[in-house]
Amino acid sequence: QAPPARWSLVCTSIPLKSIEVELEVRDHVATVVSTLLYENKEDKPIEAVFVFPLPGDAAVCHFSAVIGQTQIVAEVKEKQQAREEYDDAVSSGQQAFLLEESDQSPDIFSLSVGSLPPGESASIRLEYVTELAVQADDGLRFCLPAVLNPRYQPQGRKTSHVQVTSVPASLVPYSLSFSARVSSPRPISKVESSTSLDPLQYLNAEKTQATVKLAAGHKFDRDVELLIYYTDAHQPTAVVEAGQASAKPGTLMGDPVVMVSLYPEFPQSVMSSVASCGEFIFLLDRSGSMSCPLNNSNHQETRIASARDTLLLLLKSLSMGCYFNIYSFGSSYEHIFPKSVEYSETTMEEALKKVEQMTADLGGTEILEPLKHIYSQPCIPNQPRQLFVFTDGEVGNTKEILQLVTRNSGSHRCFSFGIGEGASTALINGLAKEGGGHAQFISGADRMQPKVMQSLRFSLQPAVVDISVMWDLPKGVSATVLSPPITAIFQGQRSLVYAQLTGQSSEAAEGSVCLLFSLLYRLSVHRLAARSLIRSLELEQKEDEEEVDEGLRKKVVELSVQSGVSSAYTAFIAVNKSNKETIQGPLVRRNVPAPKTLYTDISYVIFYLTFFSLCSDSSSKEDEAVVPEQPPRDPLLQLVSLQKASGCWLLDAALAAALGKTSEEVEKPKPASVNQEVWATILALIWLHGFKTDAKEEWELLAMKAVSWIHAQNGNTMITNVDLFLSACAGENQLLGK
């Protein structure tokens, strides 16, 4: 069915026609060059405003425009000054361009193209650098965000200067071309993506350089994710980048900067031990947008349903003696227990009953208040606090949230999970970084459960304390660390350290850097270091946005202007002063839409009625819940749901049904001398090892708890070595197969 005429009219007036993206990856640093082509096909001059997402940790370092034969390179200036220059230029008929970062969230940018005459086109070039995050399977993740869902603004908070205009992802009116070039000191083993790619092309025999492109026909209606795999990826590296020749020595841009990538390996004897204590607090988003499908490949499974299943696995994997609580939030928040309770069969069952009833029915996305309540609760002695946050990240007060987490970073570790397309990278990465934890994104065809269970294993690792970085540099050379102190180290995860090198030495001089801890080119590096320092300074700003620390603002502005990297207090401004003719006629504003996800997959007629009504509603109405029809439960989750808090299973009809057998088939082979619960637990473990090896990440911890429970049972001599028994039976299907 064809879209209504109203949308056709809007679509033809969108001035943004295409986006071309060139990605260059060097080891684990990405440089992204985006070219946006604007064309005015109307009979009057226009101002095009495009609000779009970027990675939250990106350092925007170049902004320029080409109109006809004239190129205009923007300068970084204090934000209010840049806005005034832009307004003055546009009002006087000059062409001008303004790029600014959102005051509230560093992953939202606004690009204004002013006074584009009828029939004229403009090419905008935007460049940024960013670090690539390491995934659970050692892949480096690059994400080009496309989806920008409307961000919920809490009641009583001031509205952000940047307003989001969005359309359903399937109706984005501009095209995307994307190509990537990858180079590394180590061979490139493969490149994968959630979208279709042309085959990887190697550029040399050593396979250290390669190119890849998006397959033809791709529409920029979802995030573009690349996973890059290197051989021997977990090796420490150091990159030294010379300073800018035109910059003054002694400044950040004038001195060399080193980026050290550290991959500490813990002794196997330490890693084999798993902590059995801790206070585990799970914070679940129940805003209306959590009723959206989890990904494009499965429209039946919703975000909230996947989160419920994940909580089941988490609760079953906890150990007796630890403490836990579950919070959920939307416009308001709830908690299952008044304060964290000791983990037992009674408390686990009570929590699971309430989790099963959770739906996406709490309105908007207000995460600040539940966080305040959690932090107001006193920590439990000898029970390290671990906070797990599940959200689709559609919040408008990101900086205020991160400031709160930073102030409480000494009392807990925070593990964050961004669910679905459009999750705020600034929020998800920021929660983990400021909370000393680890961030994960669930998008495309990803499943939530294995990623969350990996983070649970991180939280159970032994505490790493007394972290320090020691520099052994040539005489006359010193290092000033620019990045925040390392507060968390996990097995197999990368830690980045940026440092400014001052002083002089001979060309042949060498130095080294050592990470100590205890167990209880394109000036990309300079700009990433500046971005790291800027973000640290911005989070020092007082919570009350009206009380701006002028000394802090001045320091950020100076650093931003010097390095050419965007910040919350600056903007890129470019004015075409070469064109002496003023542009005549009233200026018409045109908002360029970014894609957003749909709440339901319904007919065109219902969708358009809903879409255009939502355009005039408040942000809280956009988050109203749609209760989905629940699909049948997965057999693995069915079996897991029957496990007791102690780790055992009961020999009953429910277990037999979960194993796909009758009660007689599971009870008859049991030797008379074997306890029923021991027998039931052994059968459950055999089923897991024999039929669900592909999901071992999800059930491994709860299986370890079951094995420990069996070992603790006295008087059952049938199995003297449970581990050996399971190893022999895994995959053989002798008891439960044909």
Model confidence over 656-680: pLDDT tens digits?
Answer: 999 999 999 999 988 888 889 999 9
At residue 76, the pLDDT reads 92
Is the pLDDT reported for residue 16 higher than 50?
yes
Indicate if 207 and 172 belong to the same structural domain.
yes
Single out the residue in 440, 459, 478 at which a domain terminates: 459
d(CA 735, CA 729): 9
Among the ranges given (40-44, 58-62, 646-650, 732-736), the one the predictor scored with the smallest mean pLDDT: 732-736
Under the banding of pLDDT at 50, 70 and 90, the label for residue 416 is: very high
Give the CA distances from residue 64 to residues 70, 444, 591, in Å, rounded to whole numbers and listed in that order. 11, 33, 20
My answer on whether 302 and 442 are in the same domain is yes
Rg (CA), the chain: 28
Q: Does 132 reside within a domain?
A: yes
Number of separate domains in the chain = 4
| 306-315, 418-427, 428-437: range with lowest mean pLDDT | 418-427
Count the neighbouring beta carbons within 10 Å of the beta carbon of residue 40: 22
Per-residue pLDDT for 26 more than 80? Answer: yes
Same-domain status, 440 and 486: no
Whether residue 288 is found in the same domain as residue 433: yes
665: containing domain: 635-729
Residue 660 located in a structural domain: yes
| Bridge partners, 237 (sequence order) | 261
Do 343 and 412 fall into the same domain?
yes
Return the closest-CA partner of residue 479 out of 149, 240, 126, 191: 240
The mean of the pLDDT values for the chain is 80
Residue 190 lies in a domain: yes
* Among the ranges given (407-411, 421-425, 606-610), the one the predictor scored with the smallest mean pLDDT: 606-610
Full strand arrangement of the beta sheet holding 16-26: 70-73, 59-67, 121-131, 29-39, 16-26, 175-183, 209-213, 201-202
Given 459, 481, 496, the domain boundary residue is 459
My answer on whether 595 and 556 are in the same domain is: no
Task: Tell me: pLDDT of 348 over 80.
Answer: yes
List alpha helices for 251-361, DSSP H.
Answer: 268-271, 303-317, 345-356
Domain contains 326: yes
Q: Is the pLDDT of residue 629 over 80?
A: no
C-alpha distances out from residue 4 to 1, 8, 173, 327, 411, Å: 9, 7, 15, 43, 54
pLDDT for 164 beyond 70: no
CB under 8 Å to 189, separation ≥6 — which residues?
Answer: 207, 229, 230, 231
pLDDT > 70: percent of the chain? 79
- Helix axis angle, 524-538 to 550-563, nearest 10°: 170
9 in a domain, yes or no?
no
Mean pLDDT of 298-324: 89
In a domain, 614, yes or no: no
CB 324 within 8 A of CB 315: yes
Q: Average pLDDT in the 455-464 region?
A: 78
Is residue 557 helix, strand or coil?
A: helix
pLDDT tens track for 484-523: 888 777 776 777 889 999 988 776 778 888 877 776 645 6
The pLDDT assigned to 387 comes to 95
Q: Are residues 662 and 588 in the same domain?
A: no
Residues 382 and 403 in one domain: yes
Q: Model confidence at 67, in pLDDT bands (50, 70, 90)?
A: confident
Residue 58 above 90 pLDDT? no
pLDDT at 410: 82
Residue 43 pLDDT: 86
Higher pLDDT, 8 or 74: 74
**Domain shared by 314 and 443, yes or no:** yes
One domain, residues 105 and 165: yes
What is the pLDDT at residue 602? Answer: 28
User: Are 336 and 187 contained in the same domain?
Assistant: no
Question: Where is the domain boundary, 512, 544, 563?
Answer: 563
Check which CATH number belongs to the domain holding 447 and give it.
3.40.50.410
**Residues 217, 221, 224: CA angle, nearest 5 degrees:** 80
Tell me if 155 is assigned to some domain.
no
Mean pLDDT of 218-243: 81
Percent of the chain with pLDDT over 90: 31
* 483 and 452 belong to one structural domain: no
The CATH number of the domain where 89 resides is what? 2.60.40
pLDDT of residue 521: 47
Is 182 exposed, middle or buried, given 0-12, 13-18 or 19+ CB atoms closer than 10 A?
buried
Tokens for 344, please give them. Answer: 């037992």
pLDDT in tens, 78-125: 999 999 999 999 888 888 999 998 887 888 888 898 888 888 888 999
Contact 435, 611 (CB under 8 A): no
Q: Report pLDDT for 307.
A: 92
Q: Answer yes or no: is 470 within a domain.
A: yes
In the prediction, which pLDDT does 617 show? 47
Rounded mean pLDDT of 248-274?
A: 79
